[in-house]
Amino acid sequence: MTAVPSTARKDWTDVVSNALVFVDTSFLMHPRARDALYGTDGRLLYATKRLIVPDSVVRELLKKYNDKNKSTRDAAEMGLRLLEDLRQANYAVRRGSDRDGRFADAVILSKIQEFWVRHNVILLTQDRALARDARAIETSRSVQSRHRIFVLCANDSGGLSHLKSATEVPANAMPRKRTFRSVTSPVIHPDEMIGGGIVPGIGSQLRSRFGMVTLIDEMARGGEGVIFETDYAGIVAKVFHPNARTVHRIEKIERMLAATSSLPAVTWPVSLATGADNEVQGVFLPHAEGRKLATEVFLPNLLKIRHSEWTRKDLVSLAIQLAEAVQYLHALGVIVGDLNPQNILVTDDARLTIVDTDSFQIEGYTCPVGMVTFTPPELQGKQLAGVLRTQSHDAFALATMIFMILMPGKPPYSQQGGGDPGANINVGQFPYPFGQQRGGTNQPAGPWRTIWSNLPYKVKQAFHRVFADKQRLTAAEWAAVLKGYAGMLERGHATDEIFPMHFKGISKEVGDRYGLQPTTGRLIQVPCAECGSLFSADETTPDMWRFGEEQRELCPTHARTLGTQRTCIDCGEKFLFSFADQASYKRNGLLPPKRCEQCRVRTKLQCAICDNEFRVLSSEVERFTFAGRTLCDGCADTAGTPFECAECHRVTVYSYREQAFHDRKGYVAPKRCKACRSKRKANAVDERQ
């Protein structure tokens, strides 16, 4: 859109007449900033008295005016000229002093927070991260106001547009105010249930720090409490079950209330909820839109139905939002503890929120629960109550969660021959291949191997580091890896399909390096005629996957287990000549095998005379054994016992092969040499004739 107020120009005038307009450095440095302010769109701002330029923005401009980079210098100079013109016209005013914070963004945000209660606020900026943080003030609802916050930017056609919020956490949105201590042991004072009071229900009134709030309707029921809609817009109440209403829990929430979280992706508590008898009954939290990750993403059937328009970009965006939320919480000194797909909500436009924040581990107040699938091996089978969780434990849960977002719902250690989710984690066998580490043959059946095949190298590497090499990546490292993936999707370097139909092809280089058959044609997904599982097949080489007289399509597993029967000429047993083998024999121009696999096995023998090693069929070992000694063919013919011929008196060798032959036939040892024997034999034949 170009003209901002195209929707309702008249309403817009009303908005502006009560508005404070803040101008940011990035806006002033935009090449079309002047046109945006003086053009048609800019006139719509005239109803405001003046534009407010924080002192820190001016200082930032002056600093950039001395920047090494010429284009930055030029833009800053242009901004300063514009600012000067605006001040000459008495349209802009410089506010604040050099005592203000060094960062213009932080100053602007705190000013917005301050004035928004009484005024509409318009922020002119090109910085999407700042836009997001400014809007977060409006949505966080820790302060209530009937006023609005607008974020506008100069566009390339010299007009004003609404600026889209950034999706990443900028470094300066990290909490600056208060972080939680890191502790070395859980709190030790005993935890007690707080008895008394009537458990509130629909219609009950509870006191908050912003007045009395009425519970309107039950929204959800969990293990620790019931969530109620309230008459206070944007605020829900979590009323604890009597057994979850404990001293520790309330002390923990009080600590959380002393800090602030400005990240909309986390529903930070806004107030305790107390009943008529001054007993704490629950906590007020910002309302979060969306439904559980457990159903929206982790159940592929529902994912396909409910979010048919989503692509892999949306999944990666969810993963990034999650990694950044955890990064943010870790920077704050908070451990999530029970990171699980029931506590994460996603909206139809793929925004993500972590809810159930009162189960976080805050300082020594631990998180007593968790789900098996997201629990690291070192905590499997242990009682979690009283265990101080660490960032490393969260990192395992985060990696698992990211894996299950990208491979919708499939846990990383899920595999053939596996079973119990906890046992799979304990064994710690990661079934997917990476680089030269060929994975096992136990990858689960279904679309998972195809998805894995299409993940970018760096994502596979990150998963392998965590699940095969047992390292932990920080939330920030995950965010970086995932942003790389998002970039590849944006540029079209990775498939945007959630369930890709094809494996990533094997290029000639990769094929040569790893000894694999390179892909020559398009890869298609074919269902195996035997088991129905889809496998990828190269369109141009049907002889690799279509077998037998019936030309049945078989997956690699069944191509190896089905075939024709042959009879072994050695042992007489029937043996399988699998379709895969038939194809490979044919390709290599070989005749079908005569012997079964056992009989085909060759044994390594060593000649007792010349020490040469040679291999023979197992069935033929006996042929090379002479009087208990193993001899090669050459030595069996040439070596033996010397003797003198009775006729010609020459000394010749009675070879071991001859000895063995004569033994077998039951002949006595010859008296004459071979030559004389042949002569006698020939003479005897002549005489008979």
Partner 1 sequence: MATDQVLRKQQLFINPTARLAVCLVLDCSPSMSGRREWGAAVQQLDPSPIEELNEGVREFFDAIQHDEIAAYSAEVAIVRFDAKAETVLDFSSTIDVEAPTLELMEQGTSIGNAVNLALDLLEQRKAEYKEAGIDYYQPWLVLMTDGQPNDDAHVAAAHRTSQLLEARRLTTFCVGIGDGADFPTLRTFATVERPPLRLRQFAFRDFFEWLSQSIHQVSQTTPGEAPQMPPTRSWADPAGPDEPW
Contact positions toward partner 1, by CB under 8 A?
A: 223, 294-295, 298-302, 342, 368-373, 375, 379-384, 404, 407-411, 414-422, 424, 431, 442-448, 527, 529-534
Indicate the residue among 424 and 453 with the shorter CB distance to partner 1. Answer: 424
Indicate the residue among 32 and 291 with the shorter CB distance to partner 1. Answer: 291
What is the chain's Cα-based Rg?
39
Indicate the residue among 529 and 617 with the shorter CB distance to partner 1. Answer: 529
Compute the half-sphere exposure of residue 391: CA atoms within 13 Å on the CB side of its CA: 17
Which phi-psi region, left, alpha or beta, contains residue 337 (left: φ > 0; alpha: ψ -120 to 50)? left
Indicate the residue among 388 and 607 with the shorter CB distance to partner 1. Answer: 388
Segments of 332-474 assigned E as strands: 334-335, 344-346, 352-354, 361-362
Query: Taking the complex as a whole, how short is the minimal distance between the CB of residue 437 and partner 1, in angstroms?
Result: 19
Query: Taking the complex as a whole, how short is the minimal distance between the CB of residue 374 and partner 1, in angstroms?
Result: 10
Distance from C-alpha of 435 to C-alpha of 457, rounded to nearest angstrom: 8
Indicate the residue among 331 and 379 with the shorter CB distance to partner 1. Answer: 379
Query: Taking the complex as a whole, how short is the minimal distance between the CB of residue 560 and partner 1, in angstroms?
Result: 15
Query: Taking the complex as a whole, how short is the minimal distance between the CB of residue 354 and partner 1, in angstroms?
Result: 17
Query: Taking the complex as a whole, how short is the minimal distance between the CB of residue 248 and partner 1, in angstroms?
Result: 17
Contact 268, 341 (CB under 8 A): no
Indicate the residue among 245 and 292 with the shorter CB distance to partner 1. Answer: 292
Q: Give helix then strand counts, H and E, for the chain.
A: 24, 29
Distance from C-alpha of 5 to C-alpha of 150, rounded to nearest angstrom: 11
Indicate the residue among 106 and 294 with the shorter CB distance to partner 1. Answer: 294
Indicate the residue among 223 and 518 with the shorter CB distance to partner 1. Answer: 223
For the record, the structure tokens of 498 come out as 């959630």
Segments of 103-210 assigned E as strands: 120-124, 149-154, 160-162, 205-208
Specify the DSSP class assigned to residue 434: B
Burial (CB < 10 A; 0-12, 13-18, 19+), residue 414, is buried
Query: Taking the complex as a whole, how short is the minimal distance between the CB of residue 359 and partner 1, in angstroms?
Result: 11
Specify the DSSP class assigned to residue 1: -
Q: Give φ, ψ of 142 to 5 degrees.
A: -70, -25
- Residue 141's contacts (CB-CB under 8 Å, 6 or more residues apart) are 233, 234, 235, 270, 286
Indicate the residue among 147 and 560 with the shorter CB distance to partner 1. Answer: 560
Query: Taking the complex as a whole, how short is the minimal distance between the CB of residue 475 and partner 1, in angstroms?
Result: 22
**Of the candidates 327, 329, 413, the residue with the CA atom closest to the CA atom of residue 367:** 329
CA distances from 583 to 220, 560, 565, 578, 580 (A): 59, 11, 15, 9, 5
Sheet of 291-292, strand order: 291-292, 344-346, 352-354
Strand 120-124 and strand 19-23: pairing?
parallel
Indicate the residue among 295 and 659 with the shorter CB distance to partner 1. Answer: 295
Specify the DSSP class assigned to residue 432: S
Indicate the residue among 262 and 375 with the shorter CB distance to partner 1. Answer: 375
Which phi-psi region, left, alpha or beta, contains residue 572 (left: φ > 0; alpha: ψ -120 to 50)? left
